[in-house]
Amino acid sequence: MAVAPPPSASARLADGREIVFYDERPGRRRVLEDIRHLPPATGHSEIRHDPLLDEWVALAGNRQARTFLPPADRCPLCPSGPGRATEIPAPDYDVVAFENRFPAFSGELGRCEVVCFSSDHTTSLRRLSPARVRLIVDVWADRTVALVTHAGVEQVFCFENRGEEIGVTLAHPHGQIYGYPFLTPRTRRQLDSARRHRDRTGRNLFTDVLAAERDAGVRVVAETAHWTAFVPTAARWPVEVHLYPHRGVPDLPALTADERDDLVTLYIDVLTRLDALHGDEAGPLPYVACWHQAPVRTDRDLARLHLEVFSTRRAPGRLKHLAGSESGMGVFINDTLPEQVAARLREIGPAAAGDGSGSAP
């Protein structure tokens, strides 16, 4: 297991929420003071059980008031400056994590955090340097360790939404972390499948899925010493790529230093290929990136860490909408063939898509 760098500084925002700074070069001294006048942070979320689907639904009316697509000069995730106080009470930062001001889960019902990847409003994760992306991986791992200590958190979910087409309300490069007070429906279904597979074969389902994709090769996008990226055989989304570590580990904190370094190389490569998929005229690909980690307390032996990146864009200017079959019955109908998507991403190649150095193509 790799040891993540300790936070450079931590403080409380004006309403009592926690904020934690992480630096590429530890040791930076900071004077942190949130000068805003904010009412104390209070949780307004609740969860209700749907007996028909045996699923939990979060209700968080406070989120209706969250900031929606502000201009760059009013972005709450940019650093604070003279005459302008933001969520980040510092003139600059590398990576910062803080409690969400408008959480879907709060108090005894879990926790929601925002992770800002850079103080640069105009960049994106794939344009960052490998050193910065490695720090982000370490922050995901460190925050996972922190959130599992919160009473009531049963699952930690690190994710990134990018692009207005996905539903992003803030353009600044950032992701989020949810500490769910229950196991999500997707995780429960995966674990049920893994349990049945182990009972039938004695093997781990995720290990067998990775082995099958590597053996077939036709849907593999790229490989490194410790990771493989592939389009799953039953992809639901027009563009969908999964990244699996070759060694079976339950979560991000369990990755070694070499595995984290290797992940950075492959992840930048994959994101760069995705941005080039529909050509420069289409613009950067909107996507959701989801880290699947083992639950905090149950079935950790069945789970296996993996990353899922998908996009609703099926062609330039055209989106995949969840209509009758998908929304009403949960049956996805995909207009793109996984083998063709994988072949196109392989054709793009790291050289054509960019060298992964953090610069734009």
Which amino acid, 330?
G
Measured at the CA of 182, the angle between CA 3 and CA 77, to 5 degrees, comes to: 60
Distance CA 167, CA 69 (A): 10
Helices (H) and strands (E) in the chain, counts: 5, 15
Q: Does the pLDDT of residue 361 top 60, yes or no?
A: no
pLDDT of residue 244: 98
Mean pLDDT of all residues belonging to the chain: 93
Distance CA 229, CA 214 (A): 9
Residue type, 85: A
Grade residue 63 by pLDDT with cuts at 50, 70 and 90.
confident
Mean pLDDT of 293-312: 97
What domains sit in the chain, N to C, each tagged with a CATH number?
Answer: 9-180 (3.30.428.10), 185-353 (3.30.428.10)
Question: What pLDDT, on a 0 to 100 scale, did the predictor assign at position 64?
Answer: 79
pLDDT attached to residue 36:
95
Q: Above 50 in pLDDT, residue 218?
A: yes
Per-residue model confidence (pLDDT) at position 146: 96
Judged on CB neighbours under 10 Å (0-12, 13-18, 19+), 244 is buried
356 band by pLDDT with thresholds 50, 70 and 90: very low
Rounded Cα distance between 117 and 288, Å, is: 15
49 is catalytic: no
SS3 label, residue 35: coil
What is the predicted pLDDT for the residue at 25? Answer: 85
pLDDT in tens, 169-199: 999 999 999 999 999 999 999 999 999 999 9
For residues 110-132, give the mean pLDDT.
97
Query: For residue 7, what is the DSSP state?
Result: P
Lowest mean pLDDT among 27-31, 83-87, 339-343: 27-31
Residue 171: CB atoms within 10 Å: 18
pTM over 0.85: yes
| Structure tokens, 252 | 């991000």
Strands 313-315 and 318-319: antiparallel
Given pLDDT bands bounded at 50, 70 and 90, which one contains residue 351? low
8 Å CB contact between 178 and 296: no
Mean local confidence (pLDDT), 44-52: 92
Residue 357 has what pLDDT? 41
Q: What is the mean pLDDT of residues 52-79?
A: 91
Residue 71: HSE in the Cβ half-sphere, 13 Å Cα cutoff:
1
Q: What is the mean pLDDT of residues 153-159?
A: 98
> Cα-flanking dihedrals φ and ψ of residue 127, to 5°?
-90, -5
The model's confidence at residue 27, banded by pLDDT at 50, 70 and 90, is confident
Q: Is the pLDDT of residue 301 over 60?
A: yes
- Whether the per-residue pLDDT at 65 is higher than 80: the answer is no
Structure tokens at 220: 């593999």
- Going by pLDDT thresholds of 50, 70 and 90, the confidence category of residue 281 is confident
Own/partner pairs for 213-220, CB < 8 Å, 24+ apart?
A: 218/339, 218/342, 218/343, 219/338, 219/339, 219/342, 220/342, 220/346
Per-residue pLDDT band at 38 (split at 50, 70, 90): very high
Q: Are 98 and 114 in contact (CB under 8 A)?
A: yes
| Mean pLDDT along residues 255-272 | 98
pLDDT at 339 over 80: yes
* Phi and psi torsions of 204, nearest 5°: -85, 130
Q: How far is CA 182 from the centre of its chain?
A: 19
Cβ neighbours for 229, distance < 8 A, ≥ 6 positions apart: 220, 221, 222, 223, 241, 242, 243, 266, 269, 270
Q: Which of 172, 174, 226, 306 is catalytic?
A: 174
Banded model confidence at residue 349, pLDDT cuts 50, 70, 90: confident
C-alpha–C-alpha distance, residues 190 and 172, integer Å:
32
Write the DSSP symbol of residue 238: S
